[in-house]
Structure 1
Amino acid sequence: MTPLPAIRPERLLDRLAAFAAIGRTAKGGVDRQALTEGDRAARALLARLARARGFALFQDAAANLFVRREGADSGLPPLLVGSHLDTQPTGGRFDGALGTLAAFELLEALEDAGLATPRAVELVAWTNEEGSRFSPGCLGSQAFAAGRLAPEWLEARAPDGARLGEELAATLAALPEVAMRPLGTPVAAYLELHIEQGPVLEREDVPIGAVSAIQGTRWLEVTMEGAAAHAGTTPLAFRRDPMVAAVAALHHLQTRVMPEDPAARLTVGRIRAEPGSINAVPERVSFSVDIRHPDAGRLAAIEAEVRDVCTASATAQDCTARVAVRFDMAPLAFAEEMIRAVETAAAKAGLASRRLVSGAFHDALFLARVAPAGMIFVPCRDGVSHNEAEDVEPRFSAAGATVLLGGALELLGLAG
């Protein structure tokens, strides 16, 4: 009888350490931003490991990298598993890398056991999930789901001036031996392991999160305009100060939106005053508002509140307000069959699990547009992510990889 495949935790941990060395920072984190030399080095290492095991390799026009273990019927769409290898400028060792390398461990476990699968199983390392160097984030998975690269994406510029289209071409050229395939090939289902990037699982000491949904995200840009004036000579009655309007609006929103709705998220991450002189009343103040909610209706209601509050605050200061939508992603509920596959795999492995909603968006969000998709979360220490201090206990890395393998076997109809 063919032995049941099993994860080898030590091998997975060794691989995590090897990839963490690519772009290692002085504080123990990783700087391996998308389409940089570090990103290419990580892709090259994954390709070498894949060739050593006899797996096939492919890449597409978005530089998504695929590692394929063939199945009994090569004509069937594959089961796809994976995540990403790019990081934030001061990123951690596990965000993305854990899911990608656990997926490779899954392929190796199948190969070690000599288990024939009814269809191919493919690992994918998605391009530019983070979006820290180029916009948009999740570029690779978005292009895969759409079957095309939007022309305007190719013109995006990094802070160092690099053009995305040129960096993409250089990244593809760095693996000339890897065969090209079209964007958006059919997929039977997609499963992704990721760190939670929040405190819930660790706080409850639950090793596995069965992700039920991803909350919607909307990015707004608010611009308030008044009149520039001398800071020392302009009395209050003569001021049209957009900073006063902005502060009043933000105070209202920060003390109302999240306190009144525990599921809501509202964040102001960027604010700018123009002309930016220390001794002048600003003429213009602009700021970003990131709003999130798992319910589409509530997300729209929060946006409406932002618009109303900003307009009222601006009017009170004899200023004007404009609100523009810069990014809009609707909430997503994952397919029940995918959630159950994760829960069943966890139960069979003797691991506790709970359902939870993802506060961040991931590549799985876009794959869900073309195939059943699901996600597995594991705890990260103190919920810290996008930070060099990001850490995951070895037992949780092993648990996540075990459930990823078990979930794949459930979806392949091979679970015991």
Structure 2
Amino acid sequence: MSVQQLRINQERLWQSLMELAQIGATEKGGVKRLALTDLDKQGRDLVVSWGRAAGLSITIDQIGNVFMRRAGRNPALPPVMSGSHIDTQPTGGKFDGNYGVLAALEVIRTLNEHQIETEAPLEVAFWTNEEGSRFVPVMMGSGVFCGAFSLEHAYAATDTAGLSVKDELQRIGYLGDQVPGQHLVGAYFEAHIEQGPVLEDAGKVIGVVPGVLGLSWYDCTVTGMEAHAGPTPMGLRKDALQVATGIMQEVVNIGNRYPPYGRGTVGMVQVFPNSRNVIPGEVKFSMDLRNVTAELLDTMHQEILAFIEQRSRDTGLKIHAERVSYYPPCPFHPDCVEAVRNATAALGYSTMDVVSGAGHDAIYTARLAPSGMIFVPCKDGISHNEIEDAQPAHLAAGCNVLLHAMLASAGVVQN
């Protein structure tokens, strides 16, 4: 069999996904395996045991990131890496993150089976606390790895019970020795379910991911005055909710003004005093703006702030908006995007470009090494949900693309 004809084992990939999904399985068919819990330890131990069985050497760094290496002919070359995460949301599914890790492992198993040697080493990685469900910040392991925040900051994070990241890493046996970021990476690929409806809606099998949307998060507070809903005439009210809803609608309008990747969302609202017959005196709410370039995202930022300032002048109400989080858009490396695109074309899968609207560990690896992503459809675009689902054939297709993209990057030894 020529390298071009090489395909992964669909059944083996599916069975591995289903076996890992039994650790933390929920009654509704999903998975609850929060970072650094006993269940996370069981999941880690299982994946590491599979790596050892495939002949991989194991390295764990000080934030608990795990790297499983298959040697290449030239050990001086940095590894071509692929992976994701195996921690889940409290109501998580079987595929988010897990697919990326086990697809990378299936690539290794396939190469072993066919005795194919690469020039550069290959590595399977899984990163600590990507979801951020138990500890914040999200994407903790890859964030520490690339220097987005310090190891000490991550260690100090605690859950609702006051348990710290460092203590929990030590407790489950995944407090490694390697300094994060001292692990060289030649290139990084991450296979993932789309977590959205675009591929399924378009009837495409593979999403080539040129980049990830940047986001700006804000907390906004509108301050009016509580008053009795009956005796207070409409023209004399200082209704914080009515002013707030105008701003909320503008958030959506701004998202619609900058297609195809503009996003505007209000996801959290708190109304005070939240009483049926009292005019609201204070409203706190979140604002979420996203787009594909820093320039567009900055334009949206300026527009919402200008709108808020004008509303405050027009109504006389105090409005305070604070940006609480900012992630710049992340374009992936042209070489990695091209490797995915070429592999998809050679394999004959239907495809389209899909910019990711969600965060992934690849955002952080892209700061240190050429990185790229591969998307496959998920049923009804649903993720972070126990009913999350994907077709075995689509998962296999994404894994085949991953296989050939990694081989193109690592180089195949010609015997």
TM-score (norm 1): 0.92
* Gap change, CA 1:300 and 1:121, over 3 Å in 2: same
1:180 Cα deviation from its structure 2 partner = 3.0
Letter in 2 for 1:92: G
Partner of 2:267: 269
Partner of 1:345: 343
Q: 3-state SS of the aligned residue for 2:355?
A: strand
Partner of 2:393: 395
Letter in 2 for 1:180: D
Equivalent runs, 1:15-94 vs 2, <5 Å = 15-94=16-95
Deviations 1:120-174 (A, max 9, x none): 1111011121222222211111111118635333333434544334333334x2x
Cα RMSD (Å) of the superposition?
2.3
Partner of 1:248: 246
Question: In the aligned structure 1, how far is the partner of 2:29 from the partner of 2:249?
Answer: 37
Structure 2 residue 379 is matched with structure 1 residue 381: yes
Partner of 1:188: 186
Structure 2 residue 144 is matched with structure 1 residue 127: no
Deviations 1:255-287 (A, max 9, x none): 453156332101111111234445544432111
Q: Does the 8 Å contact 2:255/2:289 carry over to 1?
A: no
Partner of 1:296: 294
Q: Does the 8 Å contact 2:251/2:289 carry over to 1?
A: no
Question: In the aligned structure 1, how far is the partner of 2:337 from the partner of 2:54?
Answer: 31
Deviations 1:188-239 (A, max 9, x none): 0001100111222222222111111111111111111223334455444443
Q: 3-state SS of the aligned residue for 1:180?
A: coil
1:392 Cα deviation from its structure 2 partner = 0.7
Structure 2 residue 360 is matched with structure 1 residue 359: no
Question: In the aligned structure 2, how far is the partner of 1:59 from the partner of 1:140?
Answer: 11
Partner of 1:13: 14
Q: Does the 8 Å contact 1:243/1:285 carry over to 2?
A: yes
Q: Does the 8 Å contact 1:192/1:375 carry over to 2?
A: yes
1:6 Cα deviation from its structure 2 partner = 3.6
* Gap change, CA 1:87 and 1:215, over 3 Å in 2: same
Question: In the aligned structure 2, how far is the partner of 1:6 from the partner of 1:69?
Answer: 19
Equivalent runs, 1:210-289 vs 2, <5 Å = 210-258=208-256, 261-289=259-287
TM-score (norm 2): 0.92
Q: Does the 8 Å contact 1:406/1:415 carry over to 2?
A: no
Question: In the aligned structure 2, how far is the partner of 1:324 from the partner of 1:147?
Answer: 21
Question: In the aligned structure 1, how far is the partner of 2:323 from the partner of 2:148?
Answer: 25
Question: In the aligned structure 2, how far is the partner of 1:378 from the partner of 1:309?
Answer: 39
Q: 3-state SS of the aligned residue for 1:89?
A: coil
Deviations 1:366-395 (A, max 9, x none): 111111001111111121111122111111
Aligned residues with identical type, % of pairs:
39
1:355 Cα deviation from its structure 2 partner = 2.0
* Gap change, CA 1:315 and 1:277, over 3 Å in 2: farther
Q: 5+ residue gaps in structure 1?
A: none
Q: 5+ residue gaps in structure 2?
A: none
Q: 3-state SS of the aligned residue for 1:358?
A: coil
Letter in 2 for 1:80: M
Q: Does the 8 Å contact 2:223/2:318 carry over to 1?
A: yes
Q: Report how many aligned residue pairs link the two structures.
A: 412
* Gap change, CA 1:134 and 1:276, over 3 Å in 2: farther
Question: In the aligned structure 2, how far is the partner of 1:154 from the partner of 1:415?
Answer: 42
Question: In the aligned structure 2, how far is the partner of 1:155 from the partner of 1:180?
Answer: 18
* Gap change, CA 1:26 and 1:183, over 3 Å in 2: same
Q: 3-state SS of the aligned residue for 1:316?
A: helix
Partner of 1:137: 138
* Gap change, CA 1:415 and 1:281, over 3 Å in 2: farther
* Gap change, CA 1:138 and 1:256, over 3 Å in 2: closer
Letter in 2 for 1:186: L
Q: Does the 8 Å contact 2:251/2:265 carry over to 1?
A: no
Equivalent runs, 1:112-123 vs 2, <5 Å = 112-123=113-124
Q: Does the 8 Å contact 1:244/1:317 carry over to 2?
A: no
Structure 2 residue 150 is matched with structure 1 residue 149: yes
Deviations 1:332-385 (A, max 9, x none): 221211111112112222223222211112111111111100111111112111
Question: In the aligned structure 2, how far is the partner of 1:244 from the partner of 1:378?
Answer: 42
